[in-house]
Structure formats: structure tokens, C-alpha cells
Structure 1
Amino acid sequence: MLESGTFTLGCNYWASHAGIYMWRNWQADVIKADFARLAELGLEHLRIFPLWPAFQPLSIYYGGGNTPRELVWKDGKPLPEDGSTVDPVMLERLRFVCDCAHENGMQVVIALVTGWMSGRLFAPPAFETCNLHTNPRVIYYQTRLIKEIINALKEHPAVAMWESGNETNCMAASNRDEFRLWINVINDAIRIADPTRPIPAGMHGLQPSTDGDLRFDSKIHTIDLGRCCDFLTTHPYPLFTSFASTDALSSYKSVFHAVAENSFFGDIGGKPCFAEEAGTLSNVIGGEKTAAKYLDRMLKNLFFHDHRGLYWWCAFDQDKLDFPPYTWCAVERELGLFNGDMTLKPVAKTIRDFAKFRKQLPQVKLPPPDKQATVILTTQQDAWASAFGAFLLASQAHFTPQFRFAGQTLPDNSLYIVPSVNTIEGIPPGVFQELMQRAKAGATVFVSADSALFSPFTQAFGLESIGWENASGCSTVCFEGEEFPINRQTRFLLQPTTANMLASDEVGNPVFTEMKYGKGKVYFFALPLEKHVAKVSHATDLGYWKVYSRIANGIIDRAPMQLNHAPQVTMTIRPITPDEVFVTLQNNGEEKASLPKPKWKTVQIWPKNADMKNLEPGDWRVIHCKK
């Protein structure tokens, strides 16, 4: 999975008969049948959860004054004389699960400290009242659990990866320093026990930052996980991610949620990223046919953007289970691939059909996508809203962005985007200076503003401020013959000095301007464009993307194919050499799109004999082009 061009299809697994209690309510024949069914779908990985209290059954006996007296084994017996802390019966059951995977041509990812699952905390009785990230005794026994499981199974061919657990950031209330110390101790214990297998993060909800910024202390930080994990992961459920459920489940915006979040985490964290849990959570959010359509488009977009895999949540429905967490919340019941009679749901057929899709592709690993623009996120802004909006706009304008956080080294690119800058901090001086130097040398710089202050301003943008109003409302932008609204917190009252006005608001106030700067250009947009696109329903149906098309016209002009009037079609460019590329196309809209003839010579098309004039909704193409 670490290699570019690879993609692994997987599923999160709890046994069909018992869910989280599969280890204590053990039915080997059911599990064997489960694995056979899952293998028939073409799944390659199953993510397995050794429930912590089942595997490490530790309790405490208390003495006078409710003081701890003795740590005991299951059933109140003394701790094993050999020093082991993991129930050998459970280890053999986990080995059986690995055997079933191997027999069916699959591998497993084992979430070692499964202390959090579906909204419920699970810990051995001895630790139920402890902070599971900071208590020294707890951490000691967590590392014992890890070592004993790994030592028992590290020679097993079915084990693909180990990870700390499932969403371990949810196991306790801890600050940044406490959590990153904990995750480093846990991952180091894994690496000591088995240095040969990669470690994914196993969690989501990350915050971009720098090492030196001591604010946002309660957040789980992207760079911290990037340094101690081999993969970053997303769990891109639309309901649980801000702004990802503003549009219907199968909409352009929704099917790009996973791709955008993977890019957001992976680029800033500096590690490959994959969607480790993905699902609809409820038939209310999307029925079975809609869920299948959503999964189909999400899978192909992840693949075409070189994100390394997707694991569906989850294998089987849990609607017949009468214990928490399944009785606590309606989102934990009907998430499986199979109906009650074990017939396939439409999402299972989509997973099975993905294998057919891959057989239609070029039988070589596609090179990494050319990320032609850099999006720079700044402090004191809603980083996810700005990133999500920028990614959507870039995709509709037919170029692929990469993300950096202010202070990280900037790659060489022809376009730099600083989206929806907020507060008095504005753009850090060093970053601002570097961007202006790159513009002077020939790059394009685009800055959009929320309620931000900038220094310098007039010199940087060719604009004179005649006022700044702290007046929330909605501005109507007039650009290229189309009007579209953008919500604002403040209004910039501007007068061009050396800049040209490209768009104005409803009262004629400049909103979008362009200024030559040395050999390059600097664009300014006086409204939080990206934040608005992320937060507002159906924004991808309007012409907001035209702003990004304008600032990226140099990138677009150099592309081997131009799709100027098809924002619902996503394109990635995968360079083989400077004069030879693969172009991928995916129609994420609801209408047929007309395809122009590529500017470069077409060598080959996939699927073979495909129509190169039209692209039906949900359809795709891979084109091998040469100059």
C-alpha cells in the first residue's frame, strides 16, 4: 500500500452473529462462513478489532478506604506466573481469524488496543476509571498487550499491518503533548515487536499546525501523527465531518469529501493516506441504491487521485444486537454489505464490480498525479473549510492541488493559493515574503480574505482601502456573466491602484482583482470564497469554480486536454515523462458530458473502444497521451 499507484480494497469486520462480543460469544463456523462471503467480493484487507477487556481481562481488588489492593486475572485468579497478560484463549481465536483470512486470500489489519468502538468505551475493569492516555499503569499494560499479540502472530502471513487501535484519540481526554507522547510510546512498542510491518494512524479528525505553535492544545495534530505513523487515515463519514453533508450523498461535493480529506491529511502530514472507514451511517442519509452510487464514485475518485485504499464500514448489519453501542444510536445498525438472508446489498455489488473496473485499466501502475498548485493554510482560520472548498474548486477547474500549512517548506509550483485568510494574524510575514518573491520570479499567487488583515496590502495587491466594515451579510459577485452569492463577516471597500478589477459585488465594489508583479501575477479576492463553497449547499452547481479557472489559466493551457465547460468532470494528469502522460477522467455529475479532442496525440484509451466524444454520468476514461 505504501507504493504510489497501488490501491487496497477492504472492510471493517465484526462477526455477523455477535458484533463487538464475537470474542466471548465465539462461533468459529459463523466466522469461517463470514470470511468466505467477504472473499467472494474481492476484498483484500479486513480490519480486525481485538476488544481490549476481552483480551486483557484485568481487574482490581480493593482494600480499606477503597484503596487498590491487588491486580487480578479473569475470574479473580492471580496473574499468570509466566508474566503474560493476554488471555491465551483469545489469542487462539485471533489466530483462527488470521487463518480464515489466509485461507480466503485476504489479509488483516489488527487494531491492537481496541478501547473505543462505535461510541462506547471498552477497557479492562482494572482501568475503567483511569485516563487511558496518561496513567502509567495503564500504558504499561497497553504495551504488554501489544507485545504479546504481536509476538504470537507476527509470523502469520495474513497480517498486513498493526495499528494502535480504533480511533484511539477518543479513548480519553488529553492534550496535544499527552496524546503525542502516548501514541509514540504505543507505536514504538509496535515497532520494537515487529519492525517489518507498516503502522497506519487508525484515527481521524486531525488539526494542521506547526511544532512551535502551542495553541489548539486539545487537538490531534497532523504532523504529530505523520512523524510516528507510516500511513495517515481518514474516516470520512459525511455526518461526522463538518460541511460534508450539506449536499445529497451522491452529489459532487459528497463523493469528493474522502478525496479532499485524504489530501488534506496526507499532504500536510507527509505520509500516504487512505480512507480506513467509509460508509453512509444510515439509510436515511442515503438508501441502498444511493449508497452504491456514492461508493462507486468515491472509490474511483480515490483511485484516480492516488489515495491508497478504502475500507467499507462494515461487513455485516448489527440491527439484531440488543446491547450497547447498537442500542444507543441509530447509525450503528444497518451498515453492512449483506441483507439478513446474506444476499448482497447494492454496495456489496459495487465492491465486487470494482475488481472488474481495475481489470479494464492499464496493466501498469499509474504514476503519481501532477499536483500543479499549492494551497497554503494559515492559523486562526477554519482550515478544513478552507481546504475542502479549495479542493472542490480546483477539481472543477481541472487541476489537482496539494496542501501545506504556513511554515512548512513550499514546493516549486506555478500557482499558490492562500484561501479564506482570517483574523488579524493574516499571512505570516515570512510566508508572505516568500510568496511575493515567487510571484516576482513568474509564479501566480491568489489570496482570498475572510475577516483578515494584511501587511503589506497596497504594495502586494495593487489596491487602496477606503474602508473596512465589520458588517456580516451576503455579497453578490458578478463574474464572467454569472452572479453568485458569498457570505461574509466583513466588507472590504477597495479602490484599484495598479490592479485590474475582474469582478465586483452588487454595488460595484471590487471583489476580484489581478495585478502583474515582476514576471508573475497576484490575484486578490475580497471574500471567503473557499469557506463559502465548503459550507453552503449546492455551491458546486454554480460558477464559483470559474474564479479558479481564471487564476489557473496557465496550468489549464498547458494541459494535454481542456474541459472548459464540464466542471462535473474531474481530470488528473499522471506524467510518465514531460512529453508523455496518462489522463484520467471521471464524470461526477448527473448529465452526460461532451469531451473535446485531446490537444496531445492519443496513444491508447481505456476502457478499450470507449466513446471519446461523450462521458456518461459516473463513467470514466484513462487516456495515454504524447506531445
Structure 2
Amino acid sequence: MIHSRRTRAEPEEDPIRTLRFGVNYTPRHGWFHSWHDFDPARARGDLDAIAALGFDHVRVFHLWPLLQPNRTLIRTAAVDRLAHLVDLAGEAGLDVMVDGVQGHLSSFDFYPEWTRGWHHRNVFTDPEAIEAQAALLRTLGRALAGRPHLLGLQLGNELNNLVEHNPVTADEVDHYLDTLLAAARDGLGTAGGLVTHSAYDAAWYGDDHPFTPEASARKGDLTTVHPWVFSADCARRYGPRSPQVRHLAEYGVELAKAYATDPARPVWVQETGAPEPHIPAADAPDFARATVRNAAECAGLWGVTWWCSHDVDRSLADFPELEYTLGLFDSTGRAKPIAEALAETVADLRARPRSPEPRDTALLLDCTPGTRSVSGPGGAYFEAWTRLRTEGSRPAVVLADRAQDAEHLAARGIEEVVRPA
């Protein structure tokens, strides 16, 4: 039923959007262990292959223990290697987003020894541990500032994966993020660039998770979302070809926009991919096409960055099975069918850009931190939204406490708010 109706504000002219399309760079030789013996020629070969697909940027990762093996020691040689990689990407024609504190990568956690064992420090709450991470981000920012192909500096990859071993409250997370974002901005200085943070999906639909939707949608220069089809068993629950799966990234963007205080705040689909067996290899090309095209239907989308560039070589042990097949290139460097599908889709979207259709109907989301899961796969709200989408509507998401806010609704072009059926 209709919950409320508003008059839409006069739309501003919507120039042709320039969406960004990129890939998260995973080195073909040695995965991220390659930082132990960095080979510029191999890295340049990987980056050239990425650029040849038509992507315009990469997101890159160093390992925290190699950068900062002691709380008060940041290794100049390791920072220089990172800067070298950024320059190689620029030479290949790629802009670069740098993640600072890794942290968590592909199911492995990388902690410096000064945070572990007898020296254990909670990385989110210990004041000296926080200041050490801030010092690392300031150092990285100063080392990279001024490069014209640098997109910016992100605090780290999905830092909320570390909460299991580092208990933290939502208020403490806010302090942690605010401190590190300020340090990253200080490091980049007047040269500027994006300053961001990222979290995996529990931040959006994990009940009482200490990393909150509000933190993701309001801190930093834009909102990053990582809509993975294995989260809440989405692909297994609905099927790999289901609308719930193929519209998941689009839904993630709209959900993020609901929590933002700035209606114009951009949203970046920073990680999405086709993990086997959740998405069988035969379905991966169509999944990739649909995911990118559906996300492009969202106003305010900054871009899409695929996970990931290269498969993990099976000579490396103990990865979850899905990690071995997530790349656009296999471990020999051969482009897979999904790479070709994405290249064609990106080329088409660039050749024929169009403005998204208005989302003048919004579905009301009424949840608390303890019932946030209703908005995730399997939840009643998620299923109501995807049902509307399947029926041909393009619903926005609006929070219950803003459903009567005429200014907020008008700024987003929302004319009516409906309750989930």
C-alpha cells in the first residue's frame, strides 16, 4: 500500500555519466606473497593484460606485516615497492586505489607480530595500535601523494573481518574509522584524492554487527559496497541465475543510498565476483553482464571493480575452493570467458552511456541494529525489494525514520513510499 506521496523536485540536467570500471589486482605469480620478492616485470605484464580488457583502474594491496613489522617501524623499502607498483599501473594506463592495512585477504588474516601472542593488542581499541595504523596510512599517503593516476587511499580491505579476534563496539569502530580516515587525509595532504574504507556485507545486514551501515554510508568520501553472492547463502538460496543474484549489486547500491545523509553521495561497487560453485563457470559470463548492467541502472554509481584479476595458483595450499577460480585470467594468464564478457559489457556501456531511469517509488525499510538481517538475502525486506524489481519496478530504499521527510524524499526524487507487502 502507499505509505506516503511526495512531489518530486524538478530534476537537474543529468550529463552523460562517466562510470569507472576496474578490477582488484591479485598478482598471478605467488598471489600477495609476491610482495616478499616483488618482480616489476611480472607486475607490469599483469597490469598490461588488465588494461587490454578496457578497464580504467585497479585496486592494489600490500601486506601489513611487511610494511610495519614493528609498531614503530615502517619499512621504507616496502613502501617504495608499493609506490613502484602504483607507477607501473599508471604507465599501463590504469588509475590506482591503494588499500593500506591488510589485514584480511581471501580468507587469510595478516597481522604483524606486535599485535599477536604475548604482545596481543586489539587492533580496533588499543590506542597505540590505532596510532600505529594511523602512522602507516600517513606514511603511505605522503609516499603516493601527487601521482596523477592515484585515485586515493583506503584504510584497508574489509577490516570488519577482524572483529572475531578483536572485540569492538559500534562506538569504538566509529572512533577507529574517524582516526584512520583523518590520518589518510593528512597523508595525502593538499594533493587530495579519495579517502575511503570498506567492509564486507555483515556491515549492512548482520544483526548487531559493530561495523554499521551508517558508518559505511557516512564516513569517508564515498560509500563502498561488496555485494557477494555467497553472503547469507544468496546464490544457493535462490539459484545462480535468479533475479536475487543478478540484481544483488544493484540492491546493494540502493541500500547504501538509503543510509547516506547526503543524497548525492556516490556509491562504489568495489568488490563483486563469480565464485564457484555458487556461480558455475558456464553461468559466469551472463552473471557478470547482468551484474554490471543492473548496477549501472543506479543513479550515483561511481563504478564497478571486479574481484579479481587472476586466479590463485593451485600450487598454493589451503585457500577455500572458490578462491582458486575468481579471476578474470587463469593462473597461466589466459583470459577466461568471463573476462571477455566483462570487456564487451564495459565497452558497450562506454559507447552508449545513458542516464538511469528515476526511482520515484521507494520501499520502506524498518529495522533496528538487532533486526538488520531482514534487509539481507533470506530476509523479508530483501525478498520484497527483489519481487518488485522482478515485476518491472525500480524501487529505491528509504529508512522508516525518513519516510515522512519531504526534503529528503524530494532530494532523492522519491514520489511515493510503499511498505513491503
Per the normalisation by structure 2, the TM-score is: 0.84
Distance, in Å, in 1 between the alignment partners of 2:209 and 2:293 is 35
2:418 paired with 1:417:
yes
User: Given that residues 257 and 388 in structure 1 are in contact (C-alpha distance below 8 angstroms), is that contact kept between their aligned partners in structure 2?
Assistant: no
Q: How does 1:362-441 map to 2 (within 5 A)?
A: 362=353, 366-379=354-367, 381=371, 382-384=374-376, 385-408=379-402, 409=405, 411-412=409-410, 413-419=414-420
C-alpha separation in 2, matches of 1:17 and 1:187: 32
Tell me, yes or no, if the aligned pair for 1:208 and 1:268 is still in contact at 8 Å: no
Match of 2:75 in 1: 87
Task: Name the CA shift for 1:386/1:107 in 2 (closer, same or farther; >3 Å).
Answer: same
CA offsets per residue over residues 60-111 of structure 1, 9 Å max, x none? Answer: xxxxxxxxxxx7xxxxxxx6xxxxx321111221111111111111011111
Letter in 2 for 1:383: S
1:235 matched to which residue of 2? Answer: 226
Pair 1:258 & 2:249 matched:
yes
Cα deviation for residue 216 of structure 1 reads 6.0
1:290 equivalenced with 2:283 (yes/no): yes
1:127 to 115, 120, 130: 115
SS in 2 for 1:203: coil
Cα 1:301–1:138 change in 2 (3 A) is same
Say yes or no: does 1:357 pair with 2:369: no
Alpha-carbon offset, residue 248 of structure 1: 2.7
Instruction: State the match for 1:226 in structure 2.
Output: 217
**Contact 1:46/1:108 (CA < 8 Å) preserved in 2?**
yes
Using CA pairs under 8 Å that are at least 6 residues apart, name the structure with larger relative contact order, 1 or 2.
2
Indicate yes or no: 2:50 matched with 1:46: no
SS of residue matched to 1:265: helix
CA separation of 1:7/1:390 partners in 2, compared to 1, >3 Å: closer, same or farther?
farther
What's the RMSD between the two structures over aligned residues? 2.3
Does residue 1:303 correspond to 2:296, yes or no? yes
Relative distance call for 1:316 and 1:207 in structure 2 (3 A) is: closer
Partner of 2:200: 204
Q: 1:26 to 1:219 in 2, by over 3 A?
A: same
Aligned counterparts of 2:326 and 2:351: Cα–Cα separation in 1: 29
- What is the percentage of aligned positions where both structures have the same residue? 22
Distance (Å, rounded) in 1 between the aligned partners of 2:195 and 2:232: 24
Deviation of residue 321 (structure 1)? 4.1
Q: Do 2:181 and 2:196's aligned partners in 1 also have CA atoms closer than 8 Å?
A: no
- Structure 2: how far apart are the matches of 1:107 and 1:98? 8
Match of 1:191 in 2: 185
2:234 and 2:245 in contact (8 A); partners too = no
Match of 1:154 among 145, 158, 161: 145
SS state of the match for residue 343, structure 2?
A: helix
Note if 1:113 corresponds to 2:101.
yes
- The answer to whether the 8 Å contact 1:231/1:272 transfers is yes
Contact 1:10 1:45 in 2 (8 A): yes
> Using a 3 Å threshold, how does the CA distance of structure 1 residues 379 and 302 change in structure 2: closer, same or farther?
closer
Report the Cα offset of residue 259 of structure 1: 0.6
Structure 1 position 275, deviation (Å): 1.6
Tell me the alpha carbon deviations over residues 530-557 of structure 1, each in whole angstroms, 9 at most, x when there is no partner: xxxxxxxxxxxxxxxxxxxxxxxxxxxx
Amino acid of the structure 2 residue aligned with 1:347: I
**Cα deviation, residue 242, structure 1:** 4.9
Which of the two has greater strand per residue?
1
Contact 1:5 1:308 in 2 (8 A): no
Cα distance, 1:160–1:238 mapped onto 2, change above 3 Å: same
SS of residue in 1 equivalent to 2:271:
strand
Deviation sequence 1:391-430 (CA, Å, 0-9, x none): 22222333322212222335154422222xxxxxxxxxxx
Larger Rg: 1
In structure 2, the residue matched to 1:505 is: none
Going from structure 1 to structure 2, the CA distance change for 1:359 and 1:10 (only over 3 Å counts) comes to: closer
1:412-456 Cα shifts (integer Å, max 9, x gaps): 54422222xxxxxxxxxxxxxxxxxxxxxxxxxxxx4xxxxxxxx
Shift of 1:309: 1.7
What is the alpha-carbon distance in structure 2 between the residues aligned to residue 379 and residue 226 of structure 1? 16
What corresponds to 2:3 in structure 1? none
- Aligned partner of 2:200: which letter? H
**Is contact 2:44–2:88 with CA below 8 Å preserved after alignment?**
yes
Q: How far apart are the structure 2 equivalents of 1:395 and 1:268? A: 20
Q: Distance in 1 between matches of 2:316 and 2:87?
A: 29
Aligned partner of 1:339 among 330, 336, 348: 330
Supply the AA of the counterpart residue of 1:53. Answer: P
User: What is the one-letter code of the residue matched to 1:379?
Assistant: C
SS at match of 2:139: helix
Q: Secondary structure at the match of 1:267?
A: helix
Q: Confirm or deny: 8 A CA contact 1:206 1:219 kept in the other structure.
A: no
Contact 1:115 1:123 in 2 (8 A): yes
Tell me the amino acid that sits aligned with residue 202 of structure 1. Answer: S
Instruction: Give the distance between the partners of 1:340 and 1:379, measured in 2 at CA.
Output: 44
Trace 1:430-509 onto structure 2 (pairs within 5 A): 448=421
Q: Is the 8 A contact 1:234 1:262 kept in 2?
A: yes
> Distance between the aligned counterparts of 2:204 and 2:335, measured in 1?
40
Distance across 2 between alignment mates of 1:28 and 1:292: 31
Q: Which runs of 5+ in 2 are unaligned?
A: 1-14
Q: What is the CA deviation profile of residues 482-508 of structure 1, one whole-angstrom value per residue up to 9, with x for unaligned ones?
A: xxxxxxxxxxxxxxxxxxxxxxxxxxx
Give the Cα–Cα distance (whole angstroms) in 2 for the partners of residues 359 and 264 of structure 1: 25
Distance 2:216 2:278 in 1: 31
CA distance in 2, matches of 1:143, 1:359: 38
1:208 Cα deviation from its structure 2 partner: 6.5
Q: Please say if residues 207 and 219 of structure 1, whose CA atoms lie closer than 8 Å, have aligned partners that are also in contact.
A: yes
Unaligned runs of 5+ in 1: 59-70, 72-78, 80-84, 210-214, 420-447, 449-627
Post-superposition CA distance 1:207-237 (Å, at most 9, x none):
579xxxxx96543221223221222222222
Deviation at residue 22 of structure 1 after TM alignment: 1.6
- Offset, 1:32: 1.2
Q: Residues 390 and 10 (structure 1 numbering): CA distance in 2 closer, same or farther, change over 3 Å?
A: same
Deviation at 1:187, TM superposition (A): 0.7
CA contact (8 A) 2:181 2:220 kept: yes
Cα distance in structure 1, aligned partners of 2:81 and 2:139: 14
Deviation at 1:135, TM superposition (A): 0.8
SS at match of 1:42: coil
Alignment length (residue pairs): 382
SS in 1 for 2:388: helix
SS in 2 for 1:407: helix
- Which consecutive aligned stretches of 4+ in structure 1 deviate over 3 angstroms post-superposition? 206-209, 215-219, 241-245, 366-369
* Partner residue in 2 for 1:167: 158
